[in-house]
Structure 1
Amino acid sequence: MRSLLGDLVAHRLNQMTSGALSKRLYDALQNAIQHGAIAPGTRLPASRDLATELGVSRNTVLAAYEQLQSEGYLQTRTGSGTFVSEKLPDSAPAVEASSVKAKTSSLSHYRLSRRGDRLLSRSRAGAHQWGAFMPGVPDVSHFPQDIWRKIERRLHNRLPMASLSYSQHGGYVQLQQALVEYLHVVRSVNCSADQILITAGTHQALDVLAKMLCDSGDRAWIEEPGYWGIRNVLAVNGVEVVPVPVDDNGLNPPLPDADFRPPRLICVTPSHQYPLGVVMGLERRQALLTLAREWGSLIIEDDYDSEFRFAETPIPALQGLVPDAPVIYLGTFSKTLYPGLRISYAVLPKALAPRIKMAHSELYRGGNGLTQLTLAAFIREGHYAAHVRRMRQIYSKRRQALIEVIERELGPEYVMHHSNAGLHLVLALPDSIDDVALSAELEQKGVLTRPLSLYYTAAAQRRGLILGYACVEAEAMAATFAPIVASLTSSLHQAGAAALLHPELPDPPA
C-alpha cells in the first residue's frame, strides 16, 4: 500500500517519459518540494520504504535523496530520518514565481467584513489548549476510555440506520432524557426532554440564541470581567454588549437611570463566576429573576463547571428556583469529560424550545449519533456520576496544593477569592505588574496562563493570572509553579518593588 507522498511521487514519475530513472525521481521530488506539494519540515519515507512503494531499486532512491541533500532541499537528522529543509534554496522556475506573485496579488484584494475584523481584533483563543496551568481544561488522562469504548462497541453492533443521518429535534432523545434525570437530581433543574437542545459546544448554543432572540442593536448584559467567548459571540451577531461589574456576590445590576434600556439577555455564571470565581448568593439570584420578569429579559445561565464544588452544597441553578423561570440554562461536558467531545446542551423555556431547535437544525444540522447515544448510556449506567465524583476528589487536592504553594512562596494575599470550586483560581497581582507581559513570558517557559486584564471590556480593574490547576498533579505543583515565582519576582524587581514581596493588594471593585 502506498503512502500519500508515495502516490504523489509515482504520479509525477509517470508524467516524465525521458531520462534516467534516478534523474526523473530527483526531478519529481524537487518539483514537488519547490511548489509546496511536499511542505518544508515534512519527513520523507526511508529510502527502502519509498523504493518498495515505487517499485524501484533502493540505490535509485538513495541517489535522488543524496543529490537533493547536496543542493539543500533535504536534511538528514541522525536517528530521526530525512526531512525537507525548512529554508529552501532559491531556485524555483521564474515562470512559476511570476505565477505565484500574480495569484498572491489577486488574493490581496479579498477583505474581511468589518464584523470579521472586529472579531479577530478581540480574539482571545490561544494557540495552546493543553498544559500546566492552562485554564478551562480538565485532566483528560483520567477519562475512562475503556468503559466508553465498551459502551460504544455494544451500541455500534445494533446501531439504527437513522442514527447515521442528521439528528432531529435538537439531539437524540436518549441523551435528552438522560440529562433530564441527571440535572433534576444534581442541579435542581426542572425540565422535560423536549426542552433540551444538544449543541456542538457552548459557543454554538450562544450563537443560535443570539441569532434567534436578538435583533441588531439589542442589548445584552455580560459580567465585567467575564468570559471573552460570550462577549465575542454576541458582538459578532450585532448585539450591543453592556459590561456590568461583578462584586463579591456576582453580577451586580445597576440602578436604572434616565437613559436605561432593559437588556434582552442577561448572561451570568452564577455558580462559579468566570474568571473571578465568586458565587452568586440566593438573594442576588432571586433579585435577578425578578428583574428579568419585569423587563421581559432572558437570563443565560452558563453553569460550565458546577459539578466541581469541593465544600458546601452548591446553590440550586437559577433555572429551578422558580416555576417557568425566564432562564436558558447552558451546560457542557467539556469540563467534566473532555473538550474534544464537543457536546453541550441548552435547557430552553417550553414556549421557545420548538423554534430554537428548528433554527439549530436549519443552521448547523445535528449529528454524531453514536457519540450522543454512547454518552446517554454512560450517564444512565452511572459511569458519568462516578467519574465526576472521582475527579472532584483529585481536583480538590490539586487546588489545595496550589493554594498552599502560593501562600508559602508569595503570601495569602495573592489568592483572589477562596471559592473552593471549579478548575481554576486567580493569582492576584499588584497593579505595578503587567499581567499580559508576564503571561507571555511564562508561555515562553512552557507555562500557560491567562492575564486577568484581558477579561475586562473596559479598562482593567485588577491584575492577575488565571491558573488552571486541573492538569497539574498535586505532588508536582510546587515545581510546576516555580517558574511563575521566578518571573514574578523578577518583574517586581524591575517595577521597583523588590522590597514588597507581600504587597498590599487592593480590594476587588464593588
Structure 2
Amino acid sequence: MDTVILSDWLAARLDRTAAEPVYRQTLRLMQQAILTGQLPPGTKLPSSRTLAEDLGIARNTVLHVYDQLTAEGYVISTTGSGTYVADTRPDTAAVNMRRKPAVASVDKEDSTARETTKPPKRDLNDLSARGRRLIDKAGVSAKQWGAFMPGVPDVAEFPARTWSRLQARLWKEANPDLLTYAPGGGYRPLRRALSDYLRVARSVNCTPDQIIITTGIHQSIDLAVRLLTDVGDRAWVEEPCYWGARSVLQSSGITLVPVPVDDEGLNPSEQDLQQPPRLALVTPSHQYPLGMVMSLARRRTLLEYARQHNVWIIEDDYDSEFRYGSRPLASLQGLDEAGQVIYVGSLGKMLFPGLRIGYMIAPEHLVDTFRTGVAELYREGQLMQQAVMTEFIMDGHLTSHVRRMRALYGERRQILIDAITARFGSELPVMGDEAGLHLVLGLPDHANDRAVTAAAYDAGVIVRPLASYYSSDTPARRGLLLGYACVPNDKIGPAFDTLARVIEQTALKAPTRAA
C-alpha cells in the first residue's frame, strides 16, 4: 500500500458522524494496517501535512496519531528523513522453537495475497483441569435481577440518599488515609462497629481485632482455604450446597466430600466420621438451599468432632438477619470454645450486592496470619466505602433498614406462598421458607428441574434448579429456588402465573413408559 492508497484507504473508512473521535479512528485504522501487513515494514508514511490535507483533518490530529504510533513502537521517526513503519513481525525462529508450524493460509484482505499463519482454534481444552471443571460447573447467571432470582435483595429500597449524604461528607474531608490500601484487616472503626452489631444480632463471640474485612463470602472462604489447606485435602460440604462455595473449594484443589443433610442439618455417616476432613463448610442457621436449621445437638457434636480431630469449620452465615416469625438464631461460632470456627458473612444481602463488603471472624490465634494473608493476596482497599459503611451502622441506619426489609420480604414471601397454594394446593411442597430471601418449590421426582428452569427463562422468569446444587448427577430432590425479595408485591402474582404454566406444561405431565 503506497502513500496515495493509504490516504484513500483511510478516507473511505473514517466516519465523520461517529461518536469515536477522528483521532482515535485514524490511530486504530493505521495500527490495523500495520499489524495486518497492509503497511509492510519499511514503508515510508506521508508527511503529516500531506496526510492531513488528503483526509481533510487538522495537521495536529495527524501529528498526535504519529506521536502515538511512535510511542507504541508501530513506526520509527528519523529527523530529516521521515516516518517509517517499524518491523514488529514475530521472530519466526523463536516461535518455531516452541510450537509446530501452523497451517498456511491466504489472507483475502491483503491485496498482495501474502501468506499468513492460521491462529489455533481455542476451546476448553486450553484450560487447566480445574479451570475446565470451574467453567463446566459454573452456576453464575446472565441475569441478576427480576422474578424470581434467588438471593438478591431489593436494591430499589436501599436508602441511597442517606448513603450519598454520608459518602459526600467523607469525600469532602478527603482523608488521605482512606485513599490507600487497607492494612490490618480493614478499617478499624468498621471492625469495631461490626463486632458490636454481631454480638447483639448473631450472638457472635469476638473482638474487633478478630474481624477481617473482605469483598464478600467468596473471598473469605478463598482466604481461609488458601491459608489452612493444601491441594488434595478433603473438605466436607453439605449435599446439596451453594454452587459458588463449591467452586471456590474445587478451584483451590480441594477434594470435596458431599455430606447429606436432613431435617437437623449436616448428617455425616459412620464412614464420613472415620475419615476426618481438613475442613467442613456449613450453613447451620439457614441451610442453603433447603433452609433447615442445624439442631443444637448436631452443632455440639460437630464442634466436639472438630476439636478432637483438628477440623476447621467455616460457618457461612449469609442471610440469617431475615427470619420470619422468630428471632435470628445464635451462631455456631458463639458456641465454639476451641477456636475451630471461622465465621463468614456479607453486608450485600442486607444492603445491595454491589457493595462488596464482607467479613470473616478469625480465631484469635490466627488473626495476624489472616491479616497478612488478605493483604498479601488481594491488596485490599475500599477504605472510603468502609468508612461510609461505618457511619451507616453507627447512625442506626443498618438496624432500621434490616428491620424494614424484614417486614417487606415477609410480605412478599407470604404473597408467593399464597400464589403457590392457590395454584397447586398441596401438590407441590414449599420448603425452606422460614428465613432468607428465597424458598424451594418441590417438583415431582420424575420432573427435570433444569428443563423447567430453561423453559421459564424463555418465558421471562428466572429460577434456579435444585439439581444444580447437588454434586451428584442424580439429585435426591427435584425443585426450583424462587427468590421473592427483589420482586415488587404486585408483580409476584403475574410472574408466578407465568411460571406455573411452564411447570404444568413441563413438570406435571406423567412420565411416559417405554413400550
Shorter chain as normaliser: what TM range?
0.7 to 0.9
Give me the whole-angstrom Cα distance separating, in 2, the residues matched to 1:194 and 1:493. Answer: 54
Matches within 5 A, 1:101-250: 102=117, 104-105=119-120, 111-250=126-265
* 2:397 partner amino acid: H
Give me the whole-angstrom Cα distance separating, in 2, the residues matched to 1:98 and 1:321. Answer: 75
Query: CA distance change for structure 1 residues 382 and 102 in 2, over 3 Å: closer, same or farther?
Result: farther
Task: Quote how far apart the aligned CAs of 1:417 are.
Answer: 2.5
Query: CA distance change for structure 1 residues 20 and 308 in 2, over 3 Å: closer, same or farther?
Result: closer
Give me the whole-angstrom Cα distance separating, in 1, the residues matched to 2:118 and 2:436. Answer: 50
Aligned residue-pair number: 426
Give me the whole-angstrom Cα distance separating, in 1, the residues matched to 2:362 and 2:313. Answer: 11
Q: Work out whether 1:441 is the aligned partner of 2:473.
A: no
Match of 1:466 among 481, 485, 491: 481
Q: Work out whether 1:391 is the aligned partner of 2:399.
A: no
In structure 2, the partner of 1:330 is 344
Secondary structure of 2:119's aligned partner: helix
In structure 1, the partner of 2:25 is 9
Which deviates further from its counterpart, 282-291 or 187-196?
A: 282-291
Give me the whole-angstrom Cα distance separating, in 2, the residues matched to 1:333 and 1:97. Answer: 61
Q: Work out whether 1:372 is the aligned partner of 2:386.
A: yes
Give me the whole-angstrom Cα distance separating, in 2, the residues matched to 1:109 and 1:256. Answer: 36
> Is contact 2:201-2:328 (8 Å) kept?
no
* 2:470 partner amino acid: Y
Task: Quote how far apart the aligned CAs of 1:195 are.
Answer: 0.7
The CA deviation string for residues 151-204 of structure 1, in whole angstroms up to 9 with x for no partner, is 111111223212211110111101111100000010011111111111112111
Give me the whole-angstrom Cα distance separating, in 1, the residues matched to 2:498 and 2:23. Answer: 47
In structure 2, the partner of 1:293 is 307
Moved over 4 A (4+): 2-7, 10-22, 96-101, 106-110
Task: Quote how far apart the aligned CAs of 1:111 are.
Answer: 2.0
In structure 2, the partner of 1:420 is 434
Which deviates further from its counterpart, 101-110 or 372-381?
A: 101-110
Query: CA distance change for structure 1 residues 385 and 495 in 2, over 3 Å: closer, same or farther?
Result: same
Which deviates further from its counterpart, 13-22 or 165-174?
A: 13-22
Secondary structure of 1:299's aligned partner: strand
Give me the whole-angstrom Cα distance separating, in 1, the residues matched to 2:463 and 2:112. Answer: 42
The CA deviation string for residues 116-151 of structure 1, in whole angstroms up to 9 with x for no partner, is 112111111111111110011100000101000111
Query: CA distance change for structure 1 residues 7 and 147 in 2, over 3 Å: closer, same or farther?
Result: farther
> Is contact 1:415-1:425 (8 Å) kept?
no
Query: CA distance change for structure 1 residues 179 and 98 in 2, over 3 Å: closer, same or farther?
Result: farther
Give me the whole-angstrom Cα distance separating, in 2, the residues matched to 1:373 and 1:10. Answer: 45
TM norm structure 1: 0.79
Task: Quote how far apart the aligned CAs of 1:115 are.
Answer: 1.7
Give me the whole-angstrom Cα distance separating, in 2, the residues matched to 1:231 and 1:418. Answer: 20
Secondary structure of 1:241's aligned partner: strand
Give me the whole-angstrom Cα distance separating, in 2, the residues matched to 1:450 and 1:234. Answer: 21
Give me the whole-angstrom Cα distance separating, in 2, the residues matched to 1:179 and 1:467. Answer: 30
What's the C-alpha RMSD, in Å, of the aligned pairs?
2.6
* 1:440 partner amino acid: A
In structure 2, the partner of 1:408 is 422
Task: Quote how far apart the aligned CAs of 1:388 are.
Answer: 0.3
Query: CA distance change for structure 1 residues 107 and 447 in 2, over 3 Å: closer, same or farther?
Result: closer
Query: CA distance change for structure 1 residues 97 and 400 in 2, over 3 Å: closer, same or farther?
Result: farther
Give me the whole-angstrom Cα distance separating, in 2, the residues matched to 1:119 and 1:308. Answer: 31
> Is contact 1:282-1:315 (8 Å) kept?
no
Larger Rg: 2
Give me the whole-angstrom Cα distance separating, in 1, the residues matched to 2:351 and 2:127. Answer: 36
Give me the whole-angstrom Cα distance separating, in 2, the residues matched to 1:481 and 1:494. Answer: 19
Q: Work out whether 1:273 is the aligned partner of 2:287.
A: yes
Task: Quote how far apart the aligned CAs of 1:18 are.
Answer: 6.2
TM norm structure 2: 0.78
Query: CA distance change for structure 1 residues 419 and 282 in 2, over 3 Å: closer, same or farther?
Result: farther
Which deviates further from its counterpart, 386-395 or 484-493?
A: 484-493
> Is contact 1:205-1:346 (8 Å) kept?
yes
